[in-house]
Structure 1
Amino acid sequence: MEARFLQVQTHSVLQFVLIFLIIIGSYVHASTSGQAGYVDKFIAKTYFEKHDSLIDPEFNNFIANEIPLTLCKVLEDGNCVLPTLSNLHRSVIGEGSHRRLSSSIIFKFQPELKIKLVAHSCEVIMIERLPSGVFADPFELQHLVQRGVFSDAAVFGDTNLELPSFRSNRSVVEIHMSIGSKMLSRHHDKLEINLEVPLHARYAPLGLGFSRVEFGQPDLFMCCSLEVNGFKRSCAYLPTNNISDHKASPLAWEIPCGIREHAGVVSAVTYSFALVSALLIVVTSVCYSNSKGSNKSKSL
């Protein structure tokens, strides 16, 4: 009888502990549900860990709700004195299927902000949402990082460089530029950054004329090494909709389409050369084997 009573008491205690843990868990979830989630070193990487492809509305929602945009509240005790975007000029330069997406960015800021930007290892991050007709080579970007052109760079999304445009998905290029003392010393109250992202055209669909790809405005962030609400890095989103050329015609690159008749000729010529090369390899191998065998017989 006493053993049964002890068993009932133990069961009641376990139920009470379980209910208590559920209540505590619900409270913690409610208190943290309004905070932005963890963001990796690369902002786009965090997005693609949750999504398979780039969809603009989902990416906009990710920026608005899942990035800890708390930098503005930290540097000046709630008074936002972060740099503001004053000018953004973009162009596609170069010729042929290998070109560069050039961006000239000018920020304005209060002079006393210089020390804080350098002290907290701040950096400007630019995210380019590329259209499906072009791609950036990750190895080429890493070479630029090694040369010190960028502090870091990466490509996310569809990184298959061989796919034609009609079979490929969109990709994202994320460029990091550290805000060092040398960069800030050039001007008293502004920061100028010039970026050139190397791009390559994918194989356009067969047809006549050109395939037009258009580039939207980049997403600009400023992130600093500041721990806020458990996050080791705080960021601020720098909108581009307040500049003068925001509503101008979109930046475009017209890529020549392949001609269907030429495609058949190229395929036939390529197949012929491949067949002739294979036959030459076989004939050369046979002749080499015969000559080697005859030399052995003579030596005997």
Structure 2
Amino acid sequence: VAVRVVAWLLLGAAGLTQTLAANSSDAPFSAGKGGIRATCSEIILRQEVLKDGFHRDLLIKVKFGESIEDLQTCRLLIKHYIPTGLFVDPYELASLRERNITEAVMISENFNIEAPNYLSKESEILIYARQDAQCIDCFQAFLPVHYRYHRPHSKDEETFIIVNNPDLLMYCDQEFPILRCWAQSQVAAPCALKSKDICQWNNMKYKSIYKNVTLQVPVGLTIHTSLVCSVTLLITILCSTLILVAVFKYGHFSL
């Protein structure tokens, strides 16, 4: 009898230990209002380039795996690094902000939109994403980008620009335990586009549909240098001559 009693006591203690361990492992996934979550959902980011030619639109969409009904007090900020082969026109951004089309601002200094790619530097852009009206748990951001001029090549008639995935930052007015699933570190950035206050944003980990975006840029060939220079010079002389003839023929001169 004594042996059986000791055995039952040992079994009960082992079961209690396993229960406590299981509850401890599930504690980080508790979502407060949402109850206990078995696993952390993924944040999905999709980045694509729209339109053709040298003037493109960069569209970024972010989707949360769980409903963000309890995250309405949160803001999403995209920190993008524009490669040297592209540029963003700050004057165009100012016009788009005035028309409430996008909320983006450049943070790079000494920026030259006229410089070719081999004389330019990578630039940093902050884009405050907006919630998608057609998707309750989605955000999207829009940014116009333009190709820079590239060096002519000896053989290839095109070059490639790689647009890497951006940093995804989130700031919430209140604490949500589910953010622990995604947050990696904290980054200081303005709380809003027109605010001078600095907030500590959470740098979020996410899953990207595409590893990166690759753009093809047509470039000139060095073997065509003489031909292009000659034709350009002839056209310049011809146009200048026609302008001078029109001035002397139709102009009115007074002494």
Same fold (TM over 0.5): yes
Question: Is the 8 Å Cα contact of residues 223 and 235 (structure 1) preserved in structure 2?
Answer: yes
Shift of the 284–220 alpha-carbon distance from structure 1 to 2, 3 Å rule, reads same
Distance of 1:249 and 1:234 partners within structure 2: 29
Q: For residue 103 of structure 1, what is the aligned residue in structure 2?
A: 60
Query: Offset of 1:152 from its aligned partner?
Result: 4.1
Question: Is the 8 Å Cα contact of residues 158 and 169 (structure 1) preserved in structure 2?
Answer: no
1:243 alignment partner AA: K
Distance of 1:210 and 1:161 partners within structure 2: 21
How many residue pairs get matched?
193
Q: For residue 82 of structure 2, what is the aligned residue in structure 1?
A: 130
| Alignment partner of 2:231 out of 269, 272, 276 | 269
Query: Offset of 1:195 from its aligned partner?
Result: 2.1
Shift of the 282–110 alpha-carbon distance from structure 1 to 2, 3 Å rule, reads closer
Shift of the 244–222 alpha-carbon distance from structure 1 to 2, 3 Å rule, reads closer
Query: Offset of 1:186 from its aligned partner?
Result: 5.8
Shift of the 215–123 alpha-carbon distance from structure 1 to 2, 3 Å rule, reads same
Question: Is the 8 Å Cα contact of residues 104 and 193 (structure 1) preserved in structure 2?
Answer: yes
Q: For residue 256 of structure 1, what is the aligned residue in structure 2?
A: 218
Distance of 2:52 and 2:220 partners within structure 1: 17
2:198 alignment partner AA: R
Shift of the 87–212 alpha-carbon distance from structure 1 to 2, 3 Å rule, reads same
Q: For residue 46 of structure 2, what is the aligned residue in structure 1?
A: 89
Distance of 1:157 and 1:200 partners within structure 2: 18
Please show how residues 276-287 of structure 1 align to structure 2 within 5 Å.
276-287=238-249
Please show how residues 1-300 of structure 1 align to structure 2 within 5 Å.
86-107=43-64, 108=66, 111-114=69-72, 117=73, 123-154=75-106, 156-157=108-109, 159-177=111-129, 187=136, 190=137, 192-207=138-153, 208-223=156-171, 232-240=197-205, 242-243=206-207, 245=209, 249-287=211-249, 292=253
Distance of 1:132 and 1:89 partners within structure 2: 22
Question: Is the 8 Å Cα contact of residues 224 and 235 (structure 1) preserved in structure 2?
Answer: no
| Aligned-residue identity in percent | 23
Shift of the 244–101 alpha-carbon distance from structure 1 to 2, 3 Å rule, reads closer
Question: Is the 8 Å Cα contact of residues 209 and 257 (structure 1) preserved in structure 2?
Answer: yes
Question: Is the 8 Å Cα contact of residues 136 and 155 (structure 1) preserved in structure 2?
Answer: no
Shift of the 262–158 alpha-carbon distance from structure 1 to 2, 3 Å rule, reads farther
Distance of 1:96 and 1:185 partners within structure 2: 29
Question: Is the 8 Å Cα contact of residues 157 and 169 (structure 1) preserved in structure 2?
Answer: no
Give TM-score scaled by structure 2 length: 0.61
Query: Offset of 1:109 from its aligned partner?
Result: 6.3
Query: Offset of 1:102 from its aligned partner?
Result: 1.9
Distance of 2:225 and 2:60 partners within structure 1: 36
Structure 1: state its 5+ residue gaps.
Answer: 1-75, 77-83
Question: Is the 8 Å Cα contact of residues 223 and 233 (structure 1) preserved in structure 2?
Answer: no
Question: Is the 8 Å Cα contact of residues 85 and 105 (structure 1) preserved in structure 2?
Answer: no
Question: Is the 8 Å Cα contact of residues 151 and 176 (structure 1) preserved in structure 2?
Answer: yes
Distance of 1:169 and 1:88 partners within structure 2: 26
Q: For residue 54 of structure 1, what is the aligned residue in structure 2?
A: none
Query: Offset of 1:272 from its aligned partner?
Result: 2.2
Shift of the 244–204 alpha-carbon distance from structure 1 to 2, 3 Å rule, reads closer
Give TM-score scaled by structure 1 length: 0.53
Q: Which has the higher helix share?
A: 1
